[in-house]
Amino acid sequence: MSFLIDPPLLVASGAACARADVPGPGLACAATTGVFWAAGAAFYADRPWTRPVSRRFGSRDGRDFMINSGVLDIGFRPKSALTHLAAAAAFATYPLWFLAGWMLARG
């Protein structure tokens, strides 16, 4: 999971739930967003089990993977308050991405 990859996956998840006729976005959104938050937080905290994945994408660690996705090269200070604030803001958008997919699929 990463801040670059997660939004399109959340939009696709929201659209899939809407097409599957899940009765309302509330529970589906909470469950899906919870999974993305849990995985994202683990990568951001650089938990040991995330390292094989983050390294496979050419990232230095889980936090680098979350921010740069192995694609970008955005310079950041790993433990700065600004980096943590930006990450919290990105995580806060996750339910919105899911709901955007839901609304797109429902028309």
Quote the pLDDT of residue 1: 76
Higher-pLDDT residue of 89 and 77 is: 89
Compute the distance between CA of residue 39 and CA of residue 32 in angstroms, rounded to an integer: 11
12 pLDDT higher than 90: yes
C-beta separation of 83 from 76 below 8 A:
yes
Residue 39 covered by a domain = yes
Quote the pLDDT of residue 44: 92
Residue 1 covered by a domain = no
CA dihedral 65, 78, 4, 99 (to 10 degrees): 120
Quote the pLDDT of residue 76: 66
How many domains, the chain? 1
Q: How do residues 39-88 score in pLDDT, each as one tens digit? A: 999 999 999 999 999 999 888 888 889 988 777 677 766 678 888 998 99
Quote the pLDDT of residue 107: 80
DSSP state at residue 21:
T
Q: How do residues 29-50 score in pLDDT, each as one tens digit? A: 888 999 999 999 999 999 999 9
Residue 28 covered by a domain = yes
C-beta separation of 93 from 6 below 8 A:
no
Quote the pLDDT of residue 77: 65
DSSP readout, 70-92? TT------TT-HHHHHHHHHHHH
Domain of 81 in residue numbering reads as 6-106
